[in-house]
Structure 1
Amino acid sequence: MTKSNYKWLSLLALFISALWLTRPVQAASKTTITLATDSDTAPFTYKKDGKFAGYDIEVVKAIFKGSKDYKVKYETVPFSSILTGIDAGRYQLSANNLNYNEERAEKYLFSDPISKSNYAIASKAGKLNSLSELSGKTVEVYAGSNYAGILEDWNKANADKEAIDIKYVANSVTLAQRLQNVEAGKIDFLLYDAISLKTVIKDQGINLKVADVTDKVGGDKDGLEYILFAKDDEGKKLQAFVNKRIKVLKKDGTLKKLSKKYFGGDFVSSLK
């Protein structure tokens, strides 16, 4: 082989080496996580023109925006299937106007709170604002919801009084339908969070009034809303990541902006 060939080969090797060193480094693949939501709890989570929408959805999108580690997939499931789906590993988190209770805390992890509302009662007269005033009256709830738990606990603690008549309905019965049942006199009231009740009543033109519950329901977490995770190693990593981002979004005003957009007011500045 001639010297010119050696020289040519050396130059080719240097060229290939340069290409190898300067080629783009491929980013590590992101972990796809699935968020479960019932898409039927406006203004927290709902569908608009077939797309996921609502305060909770926008908050989650802001949390994971630009994330190098996670890609979020959204899935609509019945409310009753959210927790069982997390148990089975089908979903890694949920945003669905979820409140804290001790039973859930034994099995799941919670984020820092993302909004603070009030428990409220919707009725025709709008004068019901205490759980004791619900004695003997009828209501529709989803089994396993915080609202069902509050009413069930009241019945247990007040066995000497006429029980609240709790009717358990399928998850396919929407909040709007249940409010319409109150309006039609099929049931007497609905216990829910004030934000959702006022939003649906206004949007649907339902003739009901809303009164905040005056009782102290629960503890210091009363009225707070959270994102929920599986109680495992992956859940702990997600919880840490989400909490870090929530602090940033609260500080830079994103949460307040989204609260005003979807709730019509500031339901985040009081969060600690």
Structure 2
Amino acid sequence: MTNKFFKLALLMTLVGVSLCCQLTVSAKTKVRVATDSDTAPFTYKDKNRFTGYDIDVLRAVFQNSKDYQLTFETVPFASILTGLDAGRYQIAANNFNYSAERASKYLYSQPISQSNYAIASQKGYKQLADLSGKKTSAYAGASYTQVLENWNQANPAKEPIAINYVANSVPLAQRLQEVESGKSDFIFFDAISLKTISQEQGIQVDIQPLTDQVGEDKDGLEYFLFAKGKEGKKLQAFVNKRLTSLEKDGTLKKLSEKYFGGDFVSLLSEK
């Protein structure tokens, strides 16, 4: 074979390999993840890079996947689920907890973390009874808010907890600052978020785990959400299988310790 023909054959081979690689990449199903990038330590941005516990868990789930190509998009929190409804996104990742209403519309992954209920205040409140007659801000429909609403309903003879419903766009940091300033008496939320935000923002509040036994066995658990349908079920099955492996090999625990400062995953296999 002459040098000319050898170079031509080599060029054609390289072109063929390049086209093959392009076809392989294009054959992957695109998975768009919707997240507000503003709920540290679950999801946020570090110098324009998506990061956080939820984000890195998904990266580990889809690492070396031959079938899926993962991308993240920043979406206002209020638009995440509507985008899932419309098919613009395939996964919602934003510290989502369980609710029966959501379960009727969306598919849940198996849980990816478990955080306890906690109260942030200036008075060291530990029980729901301590909150009687106190004022707070809360997101309508959130599982944390429902706990407060349920207490009011179950205790009609006591002064109710005064709940000021605010938009989901109001950040937790702002609500904690209102507790620090005395504008609000407390915030009822999950321990991970309260501790992380207060430490990062330097907000001086006392955070105590709730001592009451409230809610159901799913309370405090965090999930990914998928759209209902054939593709959603297929994606759910893939993610759940990988989550099981990541829990067994210790990856979830390492990410929990990195972002939450402790192990919030070891009891998940019991759920």
Q: TM class by shorter-chain length?
A: 0.7 to 0.9
1:130 to 2:127 alignment = yes
Greater shift, 209-218 or 240-249, is seen at 209-218
Q: What does the per-residue CA deviation read over 1:129-158, in whole Å, with 9 as the maximum and x for residues that have no partner?
A: 222222221111222322222222322333
> Is contact 1:107-1:231 (8 Å) kept?
yes
1:249 to 2:246 alignment = yes
* Whole-angstrom CA distance in 1 between matches of 2:159 and 2:70: 47
Q: What does the per-residue CA deviation read over 1:105-151, in whole Å, with 9 as the maximum and x for residues that have no partner?
A: 1111111111111010100122x122222222111122232222222
Q: What does the per-residue CA deviation read over 1:203-251, in whole Å, with 9 as the maximum and x for residues that have no partner?
A: 1111111111122232111211111111211111111000000011111
**Aligned equivalent of 2:268, options 264, 267, 271:** 271
**Aligned equivalent of 2:65, options 64, 67, 71:** 67
* Partner of residue 117, structure 1: 115
* Partner of residue 202, structure 2: 205
* Partner of residue 35, structure 1: 33
* Whole-angstrom CA distance in 1 between matches of 2:154 and 2:104: 22
Describe the SS at the equivalent of 2:233. helix
1:153 to 2:147 alignment = no
Q: What does the per-residue CA deviation read over 1:85-123, in whole Å, with 9 as the maximum and x for residues that have no partner?
A: 222222211111111121211111111111111010100
Equivalent runs, 1:203-242 vs 2, <5 Å: 203-242=200-239
Unpaired runs of 5+ in structure 2?
1-8
CA displacement at 1:159 relative to structure 2? 3.2
* Partner of residue 180, structure 1: 177
Q: 1:121 is matched by which residue type in structure 2?
A: I
> Is contact 1:40-1:175 (8 Å) kept?
no
CA displacement at 1:178 relative to structure 2? 0.8
Describe the SS at the equivalent of 2:268. coil
* Whole-angstrom CA distance in 2 between matches of 1:144 and 1:186: 23
Q: What does the per-residue CA deviation read over 1:29-86, in whole Å, with 9 as the maximum and x for residues that have no partner?
A: 1111221112221111111112211101100111111112212221222222222222
Q: Which runs of 4+ in 1 moved over 4 A?
A: none
Describe the SS at the equivalent of 1:215. coil
> Is contact 2:122-2:180 (8 Å) kept?
yes
* Partner of residue 139, structure 1: 136
Equivalent runs, 1:96-107 vs 2, <5 Å: 96-107=94-105
* Whole-angstrom CA distance in 2 between matches of 1:88 and 1:163: 39
* Whole-angstrom CA distance in 2 between matches of 1:135 and 1:218: 18
Describe the SS at the equivalent of 2:148. helix
CA displacement at 1:253 relative to structure 2? 1.3
Q: 2:199 is matched by which residue type in structure 1?
A: K
Q: 2:58 is matched by which residue type in structure 1?
A: V
RMSD over aligned CA atoms reads 2.2
CA displacement at 1:175 relative to structure 2? 1.0
* Partner of residue 88, structure 2: 90
Q: TM-score, normalised by structure 2?
A: 0.87
**In structure 2, do the counterparts of structure 1 residues 144 and 36 end up closer, same or farther at CA, with 3 Å as the change threshold?**
farther
* Whole-angstrom CA distance in 2 between matches of 1:149 and 1:90: 29
* Partner of residue 6, structure 2: none
Aligned residue-pair number: 255
**In structure 2, do the counterparts of structure 1 residues 153 and 79 end up closer, same or farther at CA, with 3 Å as the change threshold?**
farther
* Whole-angstrom CA distance in 1 between matches of 2:151 and 2:70: 39
CA displacement at 1:262 relative to structure 2? 0.5
Q: 2:175 is matched by which residue type in structure 1?
A: R
* Whole-angstrom CA distance in 1 between matches of 2:115 and 2:249: 21
> Is contact 2:77-2:169 (8 Å) kept?
no
